[in-house]
Amino acid sequence: MDERERLVRATDVLTERALTGLFSRAFAQPLKLLGQTEASLSSYAVFWCVAFNEGSTQVEIAGQTGLSAKTVSRVISQLGEAAGGRGWIKQSHDAKDRRVRRLTLSRKGKSVHRQLMRDLQQFDSELSPG
């Protein structure tokens, strides 16, 4: 099993826990890193989707996460570089169409992503036997 498959497996386990009522325990540390005082699966989903699909648009992120465009926009405001945001997601104009904004992780966002990856790897190693 390669690294990405193990991380997908760990994420699947975390998602299953969320769906079975263990959401706050399973996601406590990652959400704390994302600066959430309450469990916010939409913030978690958008952050991961941008991390694994850098250069996507808000519409593409909405399609990939199953969230509404309005919810994705709100989360991007919370995690983005706008006033009051965390500064983890950057928006830049598309080179061919300036009306389109592409989403990528900022330097701070990449740092948070690395920490989340370490946490997931640790979680996965705790799940794996021996």
pLDDT at 84: 87
Give the pLDDT score at 8.
Answer: 79
Check residue 3 and give its pLDDT: 81
3-state secondary structure the chain: CCHHHHHHHHHHHHHHHHHHHHHHHHCHHHHHHCCCCCCCHHHHHHHHHHHHCCCECHHHHHHHHCCCHHHHHHHHHHHECCCCCCCCEEEEECCCCCCCEEEEECHHHHHHHHHHHHHHHHHHHHHCCC
Mean pLDDT by 10 residues, the chain (130 residues): 79 61 51 58 86 94 90 92 90 92 95 82 70
Q: Please report the pLDDT score of residue 39 as a whole number.
A: 43
Q: Where are the domains of the chain?
A: 3-123
Q: What is the pLDDT of residue 21?
A: 42
pTM: 0.69
Whether 79 contacts 47, CB under 8 Å:
yes
* pLDDT number for residue 31: 61
CATH architecture of 3-123: Orthogonal Bundle (1.10)
Selection from 98, 13, 88, 19 nearest residue 49 by Cα: 88
At residue 110, the pLDDT reads: 94
